[in-house]
Amino acid sequence: MPEGDTVWNTARVLHRALAGARLTGSDFRVPQLATTDLTGWTVRESASRGKHLLLRLAALDGTHWTLHSHLRMEGAWRAYAPGERWTARPAHLIRVVLRSPGAVAVGYHLHELALAPTAEEESLVGQLGPDLLGADWDPAEAVRRLAAHPDATIGEALLDQRNLAGIGNLYKCEVLFLRGISPWTPVRAVPDLAGTVTLAQRLLAANRGRWTQSTTGSLHRGQTSYVYGRRAQPCRRCGTAIRKEELGDRVTYWCPVCQPERTPRGDGG
């Protein structure tokens, strides 16, 4: 699942494949960029911001541009050697192809694909909260933004990228389990917001650099999560069956014993 750590990893793959290279061709398969040609442009770097990927480029005239993409649930970038078969996804899902002498980068099922001056990057990602994997990670600012919406459920607040950038459904579920917090708890009733965001940052950072996401410390199949994806399976702490239910427009997993609801759902969240 493309959460902040997955996008961070993807950015590093593209950076290793393309950084410093002059593009020998490009093929955009989205209407808004269909006539765009990046041939001759130089790839300066690849970076991530929360769940957004930013490929920074230098045009032939020396101006700097950013190719922005969002993976959402289905998107992916893959880097191939020249001549290698593109096997990651069906061809009809390809949205962009970038060619260089040493690598071919293929973007599948990308969202919000846009090309903008690098100086205007904030127009693309400026609405995001502190990036959990960014050099400028600011836990105090993340807490301030969460606390500004006291009646929101903590489950929904953690997924709001305007509060903090990088948490997806997996980390939301796992963080709340480890903190013993029901996903339906209103933000105002969470006893230690700072501890919650600090744990979230620590979990994402621990998985940075690898593709298998684990919050338990185990990389073995079926042992990588406490509650996420484990509906009806026994809680690893108390043995109670893990539950799954909709929360907002996403599903959530939790243990009803380890994460008791202390505030009725009809009373402020």
Identify the active-site residue in 29, 144, 208, 250: 250
To 10 degrees, the CA torsion angle through 8, 76, 87, 29? -130
Is 250 known to be catalytic?
yes
Q: Which helix (H) or strand (E) holds 57?
A: strand 52-58
Identify the active-site residue in 44, 49, 51, 78: 51
Compute the Cα dihedral for 89, 93, 98, 99 and give only its sign. positive
Is 51 known to be catalytic?
yes
Identify the active-site residue in 2, 130, 183, 186: 2
Instruction: Enumerate residues 6+ apart whose C-beta is below 8 A from 22.
Output: 40, 41, 42, 43, 100, 101
Asked if residue 168 lies in contact with residue 3, where contact means CB atoms within 8 angstroms, the answer is: yes
Q: What are phi and psi of 18, to 5 degrees?
A: -120, -20
Angle at CA of residue 20, ends 17 and 23, nearest 5°: 75
Instruction: Enumerate residues 6+ apart whose C-beta is below 8 A from 173.
Output: 183, 225, 227, 228, 252, 253, 254
Question: C-alpha distances in angstroms, 259 versus 36, 178, 232?
Answer: 51, 9, 15
Instruction: Enumerate residues 6+ apart whose C-beta is below 8 A from 42.
Output: 20, 21, 22, 23, 57, 58
Candidates 132, 173, 178, 125; CA nearest to 153 is 173
Is 99 known to be catalytic?
no
| DSSP collapsed to 3 states, 126-141 | CCCCCECCCCCCCHHH
Identify the active-site residue in 3, 121, 156, 174: 3
Known catalytic residues are 2-3, 51, 250
